Amino acid sequence: MPRLFHRRMNVIARASLLAIPILAATAGGVAWHVQTTSYVTSQDITMEQPVPFSHKHHVGELGIDCRYCHTSVTDSSFAGLPPTKTCMTCHSQIWTNAAMLQPVRDSWRTGVPLQWQRVHNLPEYVYFDHSIHVAKGVGCATCHGQVDEMPLMFQAKSLEMSWCLECHRHPEEYLRPREEVFNLHYQSPPDQLKVGRELAERYHVRSAQALTDCYTCHR
């Protein structure tokens, strides 16, 4: 009876036995990694904006406070986006004919609002409230990063659910005194855990169990 397969086939057969689990494992690993890439989370991606507004310049260099533009951050779920009027308060005096500000002036003249590209974008079934986070001592930079060093705005954190839960499960690791919330250069103290616990106590931050209730963010 002639030989059906060449000897080498034995090697291949044995190798394949080994290869199958390895391949499976790799596939899983890749799948896991892809979820966390910026392709999915759009982290660190700088968006094209109608006006190249620089937080670096306005916040970092001019030192304008967050609340000057994001007026409702302390008392509404929505931090608020400055109406064209706010831009014009200064830019009707300075850079009055800078080409880059043309869209702003057009908007002011025609009454057609500017259309900014949304940077921090949560799924619609997530209900985030700025005011309560600010009230309980979560700093802007904790979630938005060093905005004062961003020429163009980008999403500094992954904004994945697991990322949210890090803080909702262990708030004490991230809390800061309320007066420091808008301070972009605040350094958390070496004994953050101890301080954090005190702050959580003082600000009536609810238990991790309560903070991780589904209804806290989903409705």
Partner 1 sequence: MNLSEVRSRLSNQRGQALWRSMEELCDTPEFRKSLEREFPGGVDGWINSGDQSRRRFLQLMGASLMLAGAGTMSGCSDKPRDEKIVPYVDAPEMLVAGKPMFFATAMPMGGFGRGVLVCSQEGRPIKIEGNPDHPASLGGTDSFMQASILGLYDPDRSQAVTRGGEISTWAAFWETVRPRLESKRQTGGEGVRLLLEPTTSPTVLAQLDELQRQFPRLRRHHWDPIGRENTTAGMVAAYGKSFAAQYDLSAARVVVSLDSDFLFDESASLRYSRQFMDGRRVRRDRQEMNRLYVAEGTLTITGSTADHRLAIRPSEIAILARALAAACGVSGVNTEMPAGREKWINAAAADLAANRGACLVMVGESQPAEVHALGHAINHLLGNLGHTVHFTEPVLGQSDSLDVLVDEMRSGKIDTLLIFGTNPAYTSPADIPFAAELLRMSKMRSADGTFANLTAHLGLYDDETAYLCQWHLHQSHYLESWGDIRAFDGTASILQPLIAPLYGGKSASEVLEVLLGRPERSAYEVLRGYWVSQWKNADFERQWSTALKSGVIAGTALPLQDLGSPKVVASASEKSAGEWEVVFRPDYSVWDGCFSNNPWLQELPRPFTKLTWDNAAMISPATAEKLNVVDGDVVRLMLNKRSINAPVLVTPGVPDGVISVSLGYGRLRAGHIGTVHGDQTIGVGFDAYAIRTAGERWFAGGVQVIKTKRTHRLVMTRSHHAMGTFTNKESLKPDAIATEQTPEWARETANRKLVRVATLEQFKANTNIIKELGGESEKKPLLSLYPGPEHGGWDYSKGYQWGMSIDLTSCIGCNACVVACQAENNIPVVGKEEISRQREMHWIRIDDYFGGSLDDPKIYHQPVPCMHCENAPCEYVCPVGATTHSVEGLNQMTYNRCVGTRYCSNNCPYKVRRFNFLAYADAETTEQRKLQRNPDVTVRTNGVMEKCSYCIQRIQRTRIEAEKMLVENSGAQQAEFNLIERLQTACQQACPTRAIEFGSIIPVGGEKTRVAKLKDEPLDYGLLRELSTRPRTTYLARLTNPNPSIEPAKGGAA
Partner 2 sequence: MTATAESPVTISSGQDMTQVIPVLMPGATYASVTDQIGGIVQRPLTWLWIMAFGITFVVVMVLTGAIAYLLLRGVGIWGIDIPVAWGFAITNFVWWIGIGHAGTFISAMLLLMRQNWRTSINRFAEAMTLFAVACAGMFPLMHLGRIKFFYWLAPYPNTMALWPQFRSALVWDVFAVSTYGLVSLIFWYVGLIPDLATMRDRSRNRFTWTIYGMMAMGWRGDSRHWLRYQTAYLLLAGLAAPLVVSVHSIVGMDFSEAQLPGWHSTIFPPYFVAGAIFSGFAMVLTLAIPMRSLFGFKNLITIRHIDNCCKLMLVTELLVAYGYAAEVYTGWYSGSVYESYMTMNRFIGPYAPAYWSLIFCNIVAPQILWSRRVRQNVIIVFILSLVINVGMWLERFMIIITSLQRDFLPSSWGMYYPTFWDWATFIGTLGLFFCMFFLFARLLPAISIAEVRELVHETAGGSVPPSKMEPANVI
Give whichever of 16 and 102 is closer to partner 1, judged by the CB atom.
102
Phi-psi region of 199 (alpha: psi -120 to 50; beta: other; left: phi over 0): alpha
Q: Does 92 bind partner 1 (CB under 8 A)?
A: no
Residue 162 interaction partner, one of partner 2, partner 1, none, beta carbon < 5-8 Å per kind = partner 2
CB of 9 to partner 1, least distance (A): 44
Does 107 interact with partner 1 (rule: CB under 8 A)?
yes
User: From the CB of residue 103, how many other CB atoms can be counted at a distance below 10 Å?
Assistant: 17
Tell which positions 177-196 bind partner 1, by CB under 8 A: 178
**What's the distance, CA 175 to chain centroid?**
17
Backbone angles phi, psi at 86, to 5 degrees: -60, -45
User: How many Cα atoms are found within 13 Å in the side-chain-facing hemisphere of 44?
Assistant: 4
117 binds partner 1 (CB under 8 A): yes
For residue 119, the minimal CB distance to partner 2 (Å) is 19
Min dist CB 164 to partner 2, Å, is 9
List contacts with partner 2 (CB under 8 A): 1, 4-5, 9-10, 13, 32, 35-36, 158, 160-162, 165
Q: Of 111, 179, 185, 187, which lies in the binding site for partner 1, with binding defined by CB under 8 A?
A: 111
Strand partners, 154: 46
Select from partner 2, partner 1, none the partner in contact with residue 210, using the beta carbon and a kind-dependent cut-off of 5 to 8 Å.
partner 1
Name which position in 24, 29, 36, 78 contacts partner 1 (CB under 8 A). 78
Q: What is the DSSP string of 39-71?
A: HHH-TTPBPP-SS---HIIIIIIT---HHHHSG
Task: Please name the residue that has the structure tokens 């904004």.
Answer: 159
The span from the CA of 77 to the CA of 87, in Å, is 22
Do 212 and 169 touch, CB atoms closer than 8 A? yes
Q: Which residues bind partner 1 (CB under 8 A)?
A: 42, 72, 75-78, 80-85, 107-108, 111-118, 121-125, 127, 129, 131-132, 135-136, 178, 203-204, 206-207, 209-210, 213-215, 218-219
